[in-house]
Amino acid sequence: MEDTSFIIEGGERLSGEITLQGAKNSALPILAAAVLAEGKCVIHNCPDLSDVRTALEILGHLGCAAVRRGHTVEVDARRIANTSIPSRLMLKMRSSVIFLGALLGRTGEAEAAYPGGCELGPRPIDLHIGALRQMGAEISEEFGRITAKSGRARETCVNLSFPSVGATENIMLFAARARGRVTVINAAREPEIEDLGEFLNKMGARVSGAGSGVITIDGACRLTGCEHTVIPDRIAAATYMCAAAATKGKITIDRIRPAHLGSVTDIMRQSGCLISEGESTLSLTAPDAIRPVRLIRTMPYPGFPTDAQAVVMAYLLRARGVSVFTENIFENRYRHTGELEKLGADITINGRVCVVSGVPALTGAHMCALDLRGGAALAVAALSAQGRSEIHNICHIERGYERFDETLSGLGARITRKKI
Ligand code: UD1
């Protein structure tokens, strides 16, 4: 199979302005939600990424017309021809599991492959299945496939044992056409959940509390098409902030919601970065000497995001002292550390805890992207290393970053692609 690599000549200070892409993790559930509308949805600021293309393929397979024009995607779900998602598409992207709730809400049936384990360690969907069952779905799990059938979701109160983002989304999607009120206790509070709630409300559902720990959804008989603009991608923002900071550079990010990045800017400030925020812009100037950060604990929103752990780690590799990370969301989210060590990073892992002892300099190396955010972290580190690095398997990076290399080149990075 053909592999594409990024070649990075490190050591250039990044400087300049970028316009932030739309949020992948918002676009995906919103595209799934479009299945609920007996009409056409127009979704703006929809990033052009391989994961989003997979979602469009799923929509096409279900019989919806899904067309992209620039950053606007139109989904016409007047006709649903199919309620089963092929294993090939389920395996490409774990988050395709949220189509279950949307299909159940719209048609009362859904069938999909079990997404299985993945690069971040075991990613069970027991909370999704348990909640959908509690809402009235009959679900069987056999031979790696999930088959679900239901009438309209029934009135109930789902108490999540952990504020899972995907499970909260699946509940909201199924509940949007419930016969009565569904309440979610200990719901995920991520901005992407709030965005999904807004989208569902525009379609005619009555969602309140999205973005807080308790969400209520009063189902509607019928949902219609609507128009919506996806929120900006806070994790892509964190990545470009780290790239600029790691190279002792400066960046201004336009079309950002600074409030969504509170826990990240807090850590960046602790490390010495100067950050100023406008209503939809953020500027960061790196410190001359990076200060270590005593403890970075990943937590559900509004805590520090697990998706930003790897890129912030890549930035802190050259801090003057020891930084400590605790990963509380996923079991296997330190796989990038083995690759970062190839650049000369000093990292020790003990279970959930990762200790990064800053080194004065990194040296370019050959590395392999093993997952999306870990892959982006390799690029951040390579940009700050002396000499040439090569990052293989960049398909992982391109699942989440639109024109990653062009965006970095625009800031002065020396990055090119090479087909192998
Ligand atoms: C979403 C994001 C992902 C992010 C994660 C945590 C999308 C497309 N992906 O993933 O980028 O890293 O939130 O912020 O939005 N869990 C269970 N049982 C379940 C569901 C989850 O045990 O049924 C566990 C998971 O294994 C994991 C933790 O809960 O340890 C968090 O998972 P969850 O919040 O569901 O993440 P995703 O929705 O998969």
Q: Comparing C-alpha atoms, which of 400, 362, 359, 355 is closest to residue 380?
A: 362
Share of the chain above pLDDT 90, in %: 92
Query: What is the layout of strands, in order, in the sheet containing 4-9?
Result: 366-368, 388-392, 4-9, 414-419
Q: For tokens 């990370």, name the residue.
A: 325
CA of 232 from ligand 1 middle (Å) equals 20
CA of 1 from ligand 1 middle (Å) equals 30
247 lines ligand 1 (CB under 6 A): no
CA of 305 from ligand 1 middle (Å) equals 11
CA of 302 from ligand 1 middle (Å) equals 15
Determine contact, residues 339/382, Cβ cutoff 8 Å.
Answer: no
What residue owns the CA closest to ligand 1's atom 5?
165
Instruction: Give the tokens for residue 223.
Output: 């949902």
What pairing do the DSSP bridges indicate for beta strands 322-326 and 353-357? antiparallel
Cα of first residue to Cα of last residue in the chain, in angstroms, is 9
What residue owns the CA closest to ligand 1's atom 1?
165
Determine contact, residues 360/386, Cβ cutoff 8 Å.
Answer: no
User: Which domains can be identified in the chain, with CATH numbers?
Assistant: 4-20+232-419 (3.65.10.10), 24-229 (3.65.10.10)
- Which pTM value belongs to this model? 0.97
128 lines ligand 1 (CB under 6 A): yes
3-state SS of the chain is: CCCEEEEEECCCCCEEEEECCECHHHHHHHHHHHHHCCCEEEEECCCCCHHHHHHHHHHHHHCCEEEEECCEEEEECCCCCCCEECHHHHHHCHHHHHHHHHHHHHHCEEEEECCCCECCECCCCHHHHHHHHHCCCEEEEECCEEEEECCCCEEEEEECCCCCHHHHHHHHHHHCCCEEEEEEECCCCCHHHHHHHHHHHHHCCEEECECECEEEEECCCCCCCCEEECCECHHHHHHHHHHHHHCCCEEEEECCCHHHHHHHHHHHHHCCCEEEECCCEEEEECCCCCCCCCCEEECCCCCECHHHHHHHHHHHCCCCCEEEEECCCCCCCCCHHHHHHCCCCEEEEECCEEEEECCCCCECCEEECCCHHHHHHHHHHHHHCECEEEEECCHHHHCCCCCHHHHHHHCCCEEEEEEC
Predicted pLDDT at 118: 54
121 lines ligand 1 (CB under 6 A): no
Predicted pLDDT at 121: 64
Contacts of 70 (CB under 8 A, 6+ apart): none
Contacts of 213 (CB under 8 A, 6+ apart): 163, 185, 186, 187, 189
100 lines ligand 1 (CB under 6 A): no
Residues 160-185 pLDDT 10s: 999 999 999 999 999 999 999 999 99
Determine contact, residues 337/125, Cβ cutoff 8 Å.
Answer: no
Dist. CA 74–CA 67, nearest whole Å: 5
Predicted pLDDT at 91: 84
384 lines ligand 1 (CB under 6 A): no
Determine contact, residues 14/410, Cβ cutoff 8 Å.
Answer: no
Residues 313-372 pLDDT 10s: 999 999 999 999 999 999 889 999 999 999 999 999 999 999 999 999 999 999 999 999
| Phi, psi dihedrals of residue 155, rounded to the nearest 5° | -65, 130
64 lines ligand 1 (CB under 6 A): no
Predicted pLDDT at 119: 65
Work out the angle at residue 253's Cα, subtended by the Cα atoms of residues 251 and 255, and round it to the nearest 5 degrees.
175
Determine contact, residues 359/336, Cβ cutoff 8 Å.
Answer: no
Determine contact, residues 46/70, Cβ cutoff 8 Å.
Answer: no
What residue owns the CA closest to ligand 1's atom 37?
166
307 lines ligand 1 (CB under 6 A): yes
Query: In Å, how far are 181, 316, 317 from 37, measured between CA atoms?
Result: 19, 46, 47
Find the farthest-apart pair of alpha carbons in the chain and give their distance in angstroms, rounded: 62
CA of 330 from ligand 1 middle (Å) equals 8
Determine contact, residues 224/391, Cβ cutoff 8 Å.
Answer: no
Contacts of 316 (CB under 8 A, 6+ apart): 271, 290, 292, 293, 323, 356, 358
Q: Which atom of ligand 1 is nearest to the CA of 125?
A: 23
170 lines ligand 1 (CB under 6 A): no
What residue owns the CA closest to ligand 1's atom 33?
164
Work out the angle at residue 127's Cα, subtended by the Cα atoms of residues 123 and 128, and round it to the nearest 5 degrees.
90
126 lines ligand 1 (CB under 6 A): yes
Q: Which of 120, 165, 184, 396 to mutate to test the pocket of ligand 1 (most atoms within 8 A of CB)?
A: 165
Determine contact, residues 101/205, Cβ cutoff 8 Å.
Answer: no
> Catalytic residues, which ones?
118
The pLDDT tens digits along the chain (420 residues) read 568 999 999 999 999 999 999 999 999 999 999 999 999 999 999 999 999 999 999 999 999 999 999 999 999 999 999 999 998 898 888 888 999 999 999 999 999 987 754 566 667 899 999 999 999 999 998 888 899 999 999 999 999 999 999 999 999 999 999 999 999 999 999 999 999 999 999 999 999 999 999 999 999 999 999 999 999 999 999 999 999 999 999 999 999 999 999 999 999 999 999 999 999 999 999 999 999 999 999 999 999 999 999 999 999 999 999 999 999 999 889 999 999 999 999 999 999 999 999 999 999 999 999 999 999 999 999 999 999 999 999 999 999 999 999 999 999 999 999 987
Q: Which atom of ligand 1 is nearest to the CA of 330?
A: 30
What residue owns the CA closest to ligand 1's atom 4?
307
CA of 363 from ligand 1 middle (Å) equals 34
95 lines ligand 1 (CB under 6 A): yes
Q: Report which residue type is found at 270.
A: Q
